[in-house]
Amino acid sequence: MTPRRVLAFGIEIALVGYIVYYLWQRREDLERVWALSLIDVGGLIALIVVGDVVRSWEFQYLVRRLGASINYPEAFALTQGGTLLNYAPLNAGTVLRARALRHHRELSYTSYVSLMSAQILVTALAAGILGLAAIALAGDTIGHGRTVFAVACALAIAGPVVAFRISPALVGEGTWMRDRARTLLDGWQQVGRHGSQLFLLVGLALVKLSLQSFRFWICFAALQMPVSLLAAIIFASVSSVMIIVNITPGAVGIRELLVAALGAFTGLSFAETMAAASIDRVASLIVALFLGAPSLGYLRRRTLV
């Protein structure tokens, strides 16, 4: 084993160790998960795993659309290993995926950024659609927050629609920056120019958001909070729109604060809503650890990292 690979392996061990330490620091939240009924815990974990399966297939599809070759086991391992390492500082999982695709599948860093940003745009579009539908069905049951939520969802739809229609020719060419911008916009158009492809990706994003909504609903119900499934859908959709950029490792704390704030805005207890979101977070971390660690081992055996 070369010194470089020894160093990379040591960094991976250190990052996973940091995540285990983080879980230990949040052991009080962990106890909340085990306080749930077995049916609730099983349902929550099953929904997370199904979501991971869908995310991995979506990742494989997007990578192939950009001209790189990747099979599903590799896509699943990169998705799960990356998810685990994203709980470490500096979004280490994103770096892991970008380097693996650059060095082993000849996908440039700019193309990878294009892929990830297109995925964010599609998620925002789907969240806006699902959120508006839930708001319309919920009627006056969500109180004075309805207008604000509706505006956020409408903007989430408008932004990606405009972005997918920007022509790469608008930025020109000839300089390093312009060439990278053209590659980025070309990747967006690869997603947005074909109706059937965009429909498929929006459908996948809707499935992921629906799974997240059911997860929130289970957590709220476990704490005996009066939150309907439609309200859980709105929380999942609006929080997904508002958390486009992660400013903490794995967006830890940010999503929980957003969900708690949304809950307080609609008249729910801030503390109880935060507790429900924390249960979902800890369950996600548990699944990330149990799927991510073996995935990193698989990637190492395949010499992809």
Q: Which range among 36-40, 64-68, 171-175, 266-270 shows the weakest confidence by mean pLDDT?
A: 171-175
Distance CA 80, CA 289 (A): 9
CA angle, 40 as apex, 39 and 42 as ends, to 5°? Answer: 65
Domain total of the chain: 1
Across the chain, mean pLDDT equals: 81
pTM of the full structure: 0.81
pLDDT value of position 294: 92
Closest by Cα among 207, 237, 231 to 219: 231
Dump pLDDT digits (tens) for 60-116: 988 888 778 889 999 999 999 998 888 776 677 888 888 888 888 788 887 788 878
Binned at pLDDT 50, 70 and 90, residue 231 comes out as confident
Range of the domain at 10: 3-301
- Please check whether residue 286 is in contact with residue 80, taking contact to mean a CB–CB distance below 8 angstroms: no
pLDDT value of position 204: 93
CA angle, 62 as apex, 58 and 65 as ends, to 5°? Answer: 140
Distance CA 299, CA 15 (A): 16
Distance CA 123, CA 299 (A): 27
